Chain A
């Protein structure tokens, strides 16, 4: 019987500095074969620690992780053949050329560029004109494409991508995610990716919102949006900077965040739309435009992260 889950993670815990920093506090989750699973959370939430344990580069304090049915601690060598890991920081050899880097990673896994070229075809043709260039001299977007090629060249079952598109422009990001979608559809490769871009989070099958070493919630993007219970208002006026300052000053405001060309506002208990309008008019925003807004993933994330910010040490 085929294994339904590519990753099974059971009460995984990891701390640093003799327990002073709890990076992971007993995290459990499963990733199905062929699934695109997103890890979303603020800096310091524990995402990179999770990736490093999954990639067999870090030992957990307790709990267990299986990749393709194999234990990441006891069977690490076998796990490594089945995963492709793209760390958050550029980790290829800066003094080797594009082609040398790729050939090196292929050779490490006992394969060749030619053998698995089909997996990287779309992306490699974009960087192939620069194959003689040293990896350290590539631009950010090209480094990222090369890193993906190197992570794929041994035909892994699972891709682990730690913020692969940070610092990448919107066009390249779109291409990158189209590439991931294709890898899943055509080759059944599963993906776990973290990202600070909420439009990318929305493209995952399921996402886990992480904070302070724990999963706050794990659901489909639609499910997460559906669980947002607050009434959300979209607010604009002719003086946007003053509007935000005024919103933040009011006791009736629970949260006020920039959202494209408007602000998304939630109200404190007991306050309603009429109170909001009255307050804004009293502050000189007679032209204000208030309407009810549909929440997006980013609203949900901010609602959850807001509490974490309040808990930060002062």
Chain B
């Protein structure tokens, strides 16, 4: 397993460098946008404006702010106070929001994976049948219909017409189902299409013909031999998809009034809440890099042809 250790070490180095570049770029971008976090419709007296800025150390030269903030993150893991949610630190905001986004995301991704692969497999095996056409139409719709439309339809149907679920809010299993389904739907569509394409390609291979020639049942051929190869594109898609899903969705969080991370992401940027926006960017980047590493590792597990580079 020495190869694996070396691989992880090298990957870790790259992750650190990437994170640093992302941090720096975000920092510069954010500070070059006009307006500041403490602008308001009511003009504050200059004296008070100055005091607020001093309190958050915004009066210091930009380069000092950069190194101070970066230093705090590196040595204390502290992203500092949120400028807009004044009672909270960025760490607290993330600590509260991440579990919400994560549990909704886990549901959504599980739903997307199960539904997507199953319909993809069925479509591939029964291609050009009514099954195939209807599954693929549904998949295309799932990808094409924006999730706020889907969510609105779901609310009309399952909250008002047939009162199965509560309209919004957070705190029980029933409240999680509608948003998770709406969040997962486009991903399910992608996964179905990816599985179908992957499956079709694999089913044409020699080793599948050999398997059939041995007299194996279709079910056995598909689950034992074809599935592994067919799922490779899905696995590589799952990495970034999971990172995206786990950091939440602004639209769905607003429609279902969920206290997840998605709203913070957009609002922090709009309100010039510098530390929170930076924190969110870093969380997303970390998740993305972590998931990609996991994907690379599972590739090795799934596909015997892939080897970890060991030079």
* B and A form one assembly: no
Interface residues of chain B, those whose CB is within 8 Å of chain A, are none
Interface residues of chain A, those whose CB is within 8 Å of chain B, are none
